[in-house]
């Protein structure tokens, strides 16, 4: 929570690169008070490993310094058979709190929140509130915002410490509090919570149950981690695999192969359609082998433009910059982009064929027709790639899937088959009677 | 900073979808005190647009509520010719602060920091410190951490409000402060600052100059935006384009086409090597057209496995989970993954050829040799893709480029040419004397 010395900071930074035995040794090398700082600076999974390697009597010292939300994370990261023993280390109040938190899903507001927050009654005076908070402050993660609750624990308003500080001491809390509080429900997804923090510039959000009773607060320092995690998940889905959940070097080999192999095999099955499509055009290739030469160039252009478009839309959706109802606006824009980008590649491709022909007579007497076929196919393929890549995230979201599954490899696979069809159809139109 | 009513929150959420005229109208529809909340909730670019549409006498009211770091952002977002007029709205002190901030790059610590922070002298007593902070609190963005400076403004330590609160009132600030403060330099990149916040669970980091004099603080609520922005940049680079910098729907059409077209054309030029490679194998294709059938399947498998590997490594590098010196550990792991994943696809591919042969006699008498060629090529191509995809980010970082440029399309392009060479070399080895 607070400040750490530089050697402790260096140890934290290097932590994930160390073996478990090395971690234990490094931990021991620090002085007592620095050990606590070091322990607090680690991620929950690392804290769990370290705790379980300590002698039982030491575990208590470090485990009890964690606020209940962090303690719950550690318990969640420990192997199932160790969990009861960790819970026993806590005092009765803390154990009850941690158990309550464990009932929430890890990635909703209830799983993120801290049940210890500063609470005030509306009928207190400002001076009473300040002394009351002074008493509470040792037990709280933050006293900088205090929440005003009625007798039924329903949230009435919020007051910052700073507001109390600058108010008249005899005023009532209900007079200085802000009654407009943004709150979230216990089941609100952490991604939604992170978006609220970012868009509203908040430092804490209260979590309330369905009856409006306040259950805890989520603070902004918990959210920085969430934003990082969610971006990592999106990026990994984007690379065409399941999200790993753990850091790369800490993920088991077979677990990683499974998460990559599943998508890779699925993409491979989809890509098999290209073999089917190609069989269909074997006769054309046999008659004009030169057509085969441009196949990788053309289908990859479709894949690249498609992955650009889907990246843009998936990310814009994740940041709520683009919503479902914007699909038509996006489609029009992407048709225009597709034509412009397709035109650009078509010109480069056509020029390339002219130059090669001038230098080496590579493409025979029909080089202009070949050039036209390649150029026209490029416009078609890039246009299709752009449109498919930008619309796929909308379709996925509409049917309830995560738009981030519209990964670069997924889009490329989808576009490859169509690219072949576009290319050979164009060739049949332009080259019929000459090469074909 | 604090809490916002729900209608204001709704307006902020819908803001980017409105035209400038609609934005001005919605703004006017709110009551005076809500307008300020609404204004504070917008992004800097939106604040600039709104301010410039207001009558001059109103601009002053809203512009002056911004803390200096946010005011500097607004000035940066306004057209160059409007900037002097915006600066004139500020009082002398604020104008000097904002001008000083404008000298920093937008994405380093100096550009993020707020020059107003709570400062204490080490020789004050705790009681003196509390009353002094009470006086300062109206002017500060946060008083929850106070920084202890000597007479030369050098940073000596930090003390949280909560520490002061629970300490003996007659103790000296130098006795209760924590002298181990993590600080950053003015030029520290915002990505580095964000990583520190995430790994150390801080809520504020002081910024010091080379002489150790404290210049300002960066608070965690500014960092949530930074983390989002940096992830967006990485994701867009990952999709094979330049980062857009602005939300998708707010980016001008030609600007977007330029940012996508540049990379698309570069990838196209690289992909042209496939046409050169294919020309080289025209003879083989003419003799065994069946070979052409599997080209898209084989090269795309290399691209997909490569993009998985590069995604994993690029993200792990961004989070500092993997460092340059880990390259050998990663290489060994990826060789093993490549063999496992290649073996998986090879089995599926071989099976597919057996089934198609059994059903339709598709591949003639040499179907087993064709199957072996495809299977062996798949192992080679996936192994190469995995290794190239995982090593490219290391190479890019080593020579000083952003590893995130190792995008899925970039890796796929790199692997396509090699994939063709691997495939036709394997074919020449296995099919020489029968089909070739």
A interface test, pick of B42, B156, B184, B304 with most A CB neighbours within 10 Å: B304
Please give the pLDDT value at position A5. Answer: 66
Please give the pLDDT value at position B143. Answer: 60
pLDDT tens digits, one per residue of B261-313: 888 888 888 888 888 888 889 888 888 888 899 999 999 999 999 988 998 89
CB contact under 8 A, A2 and B249: no
In chain B, what residues touch A40 (CB-CB under 8 Å)?
A: 201
- Strands, E, within A204-324: which ranges? 204-208, 214-219
CB contact under 8 A, B348 and A268: yes
Please give the pLDDT value at position B1. Answer: 35
The vertex-A12 CA angle with A224 and B193, nearest 5°, equals 40
CB contact under 8 A, B316 and A228: no
A422 or B195, which is more confident = A422
Instruction: Round to whole Å and give the CA distance between A132 and A34.
Output: 31
CB contact under 8 A, A295 and B294: no
pLDDT greater than 60 at residue A3: no
Give the least confident one: A140-144, A414-418, B385-389: A140-144
CB contact under 8 A, B231 and A235: yes
What confidence tier does A347 reach under pLDDT thresholds 50, 70, 90? very high
Instruction: Round to whole Å and give the CA distance between A207 and A212.
Output: 9
pLDDT tens digits, one per residue of A258-308: 888 888 888 888 888 888 888 889 888 888 888 899 999 999 999 999 988
Which of A61-65, A89-93, A352-356 has the largest mean confidence? A352-356
Average pLDDT over residues A241-245: 80
pLDDT tens digits, one per residue of A181-230: 888 998 888 888 887 877 776 778 999 998 889 988 888 777 777 777 88
Please give the pLDDT value at position A138. Answer: 63
pLDDT tens digits, one per residue of A141-153: 666 788 999 988 8
In chain B, what residues touch A203 (CB-CB under 8 Å)?
A: 1, 203, 220-221
DSSP letter (8 states) at residue B5: -
Q: What is the percent of chain B where pLDDT is above 90? A: 26
Please give the pLDDT value at position A2. Answer: 41
Instruction: Round to whole Å and give the CA distance between B421 and B415.
Output: 10
Give residues with Cβ within 8 angstroms of B316, minimum separation 6. Answer: A247, A248, A249, B322
What is the pLDDT of chain A when averaged over all its residues?
85
In chain A, what residues touch B307 (CB-CB under 8 Å)?
A: 239-240, 408-409
What confidence tier does B225 reach under pLDDT thresholds 50, 70, 90? confident
Instruction: Round to whole Å and give the CA distance between B417 and B111.
Output: 44
DSSP letter (8 states) at residue A177: S
Residue A12 corresponds to which tokens in the numbers above? 């934290």
Please give the pLDDT value at position A54. Answer: 85
Q: What dihedral do alpha carbons B218, B220, B224, B229 form, nearest 10°?
A: 20
Nearest CA in chain A to B178: A3
With contact defined as beta carbons under 8 Å apart, do A232 and B319 qualify?
A: yes
Look at the alpha carbons of B196, B202, B207, B213 in this order and tell me if their dihedral is positive or negative. negative
B226 or A316, which is more confident = A316
Please give the pLDDT value at position A131. Answer: 80
With contact defined as beta carbons under 8 Å apart, do B307 and A408 qualify?
A: yes
Please give the pLDDT value at position A294. Answer: 92
pTM of this prediction exceeds 0.80: no
What confidence tier does A381 reach under pLDDT thresholds 50, 70, 90? very high
pLDDT greater than 70 at residue B316: yes
Residue B48 corresponds to which tokens in the numbers above? 């600039």
DSSP letter (8 states) at residue B407: -
pLDDT greater than 50 at residue B2: no
Residue B373, judged by CB atoms within 10 A of its CB (0-12, 13-18, 19+), counts as buried
With contact defined as beta carbons under 8 Å apart, do A197 and A213 qualify?
A: no
Please give the pLDDT value at position B177. Answer: 92
What confidence tier does B370 reach under pLDDT thresholds 50, 70, 90? very high
Average pLDDT over residues B411-419: 90
CB contact under 8 A, A224 and B180: no
pLDDT greater than 60 at residue A1: no
User: Other C-beta atoms within 10 Å of A340: how many?
Assistant: 19
In chain A, what residues touch B44 (CB-CB under 8 Å)?
A: none
CB contact under 8 A, B6 and A308: no
CB contact under 8 A, A198 and B224: yes
In chain B, what residues touch A248 (CB-CB under 8 Å)?
A: 312-313, 315-316, 321-322, 330
User: Other C-beta atoms within 10 Å of A122: how many?
Assistant: 17
Please give the pLDDT value at position B382. Answer: 95
CB contact under 8 A, A6 and B311: no
Packing angle, helices B190-200 and B220-238, rounded to 10:
120
Average pLDDT over residues A100-107: 75
With contact defined as beta carbons under 8 Å apart, do B412 and B240 qualify?
A: no
pLDDT greater than 90 at residue A114: no
Please give the pLDDT value at position A130. Answer: 82
**First-to-last C-alpha distance (Å) of chain B:** 73
Q: Cα A410 to the chain's mean position, in Å?
A: 18
In chain A, what residues touch B300 (CB-CB under 8 Å)?
A: 267, 271, 274, 303, 409, 412-413, 416
With contact defined as beta carbons under 8 Å apart, do A147 and A154 qualify?
A: no
What is the DSSP code string of B325-351? GGHHHHHHHHHHHHHHHHHHHHHHHHH
What confidence tier does B406 reach under pLDDT thresholds 50, 70, 90? confident
The residue with tokens 């060739």 is A427
CB contact under 8 A, A239 and B310: yes
What confidence tier does A432 reach under pLDDT thresholds 50, 70, 90? confident
pLDDT greater than 90 at residue B409: no
Average pLDDT over residues B383-410: 89
What confidence tier does B4 reach under pLDDT thresholds 50, 70, 90? low
Please give the pLDDT value at position A139. Answer: 62
Average pLDDT over residues B25-49: 84
CB contact under 8 A, A267 and B5: no
In chain B, what residues touch A225 (CB-CB under 8 Å)?
A: 198
A interface test, pick of B145, B157, B264 with most A CB neighbours within 10 Å: B264
Please give the pLDDT value at position B137. Answer: 66
Q: What is the ipTM of this complex?
A: 0.72
Instruction: Round to whole Å and give the CA distance between B141 and B118.
Output: 9
DSSP letter (8 states) at residue B153: -
Average pLDDT over residues A70-76: 85
Residue A175 corresponds to which tokens in the numbers above? 């007079």
């Amino acid at each position: 929570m607070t400040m750490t010395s530089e050697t402790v900071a260096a140890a934290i930074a290097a932590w994930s690169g160390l073996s478990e035995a090395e971690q234990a040794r490094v931990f021991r090398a620090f002085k007592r008070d620095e050990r606590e700082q070091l322990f607090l600076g680690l991620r929950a999974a690392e804290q769990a490993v370290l705790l379980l390697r300590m002698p039982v009597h030491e575990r208590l010292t470090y485990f009890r310094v964690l606020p209940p939300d962090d303690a719950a994370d550690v318990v969640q990261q420990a192997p199932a058979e160790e969990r009861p023993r960790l819970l026993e280390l806590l005092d009765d109040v803390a154990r009850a709190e941690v158990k309550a938190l464990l009932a929430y899903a890890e990635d909703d507001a209830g799983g993120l929140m801290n049940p210890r927050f500063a609470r005030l009654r509306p009928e207190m005076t400002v001076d009473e509130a300040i002394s009351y908070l002074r008493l509470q402050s040792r037990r709280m993660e933050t006293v900088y915002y205090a929440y005003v609750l009625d007798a039924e624990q329903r949230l009435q308003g919020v007051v910052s410490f700073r507001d109390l500080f600058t108010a008249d001491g005899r005023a009532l809390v209900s007079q200085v509090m802000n009654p407009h509080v943004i709150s979230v429900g216990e089941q609100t997804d952490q991604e939604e919570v992170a978006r609220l923090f970012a868009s509203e510039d908040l430092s804490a959000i209260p979590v309330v149950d369905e009856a409006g009773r306040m259950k805890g607060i989520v603070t902004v320092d918990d959210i920085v981690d969430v934003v990082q995690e969610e971006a990592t998940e999106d990026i990994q889905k984007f690379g065409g695999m399941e999200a790993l959940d753990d850091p790369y070097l800490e993920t088991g080999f077979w677990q990683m192969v499974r998460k990559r192999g599943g998508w890779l095999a699925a993409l491979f099955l989809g890509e098999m359609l290209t073999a089917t499509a190609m069989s269909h055009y074997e006769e054309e290739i046999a008659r004009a082998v030169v057509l085969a030469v441009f196949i990788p160039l053309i289908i990859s252009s479709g894949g690249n433009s498609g992955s650009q478009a889907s990246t843009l839309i998936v990310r814009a959706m994740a940041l709520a910059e683009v919503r479902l109802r914007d699909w038509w606006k996006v489609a029009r824009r992407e048709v225009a982009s597709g034509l412009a980008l397709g035109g650009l590649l078509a010109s480069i491709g056509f020029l390339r064929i002219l130059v090669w022909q001038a230098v080496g007579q590579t493409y025979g007497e029909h080089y202009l027709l070949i050039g036209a076929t390649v150029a026209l196919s490029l416009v078609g393929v890039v246009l299709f790639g752009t449109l498919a890549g930008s619309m796929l995230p909308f379709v996925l979201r509409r049917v309830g899937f995560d738009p981030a599954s519209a990964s670069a490899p997924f889009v490329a696979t989808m576009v490859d088959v169509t690219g072949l069809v576009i290319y050979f159809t164009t060739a049949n139109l332009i080259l019929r009677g000459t090469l074909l």
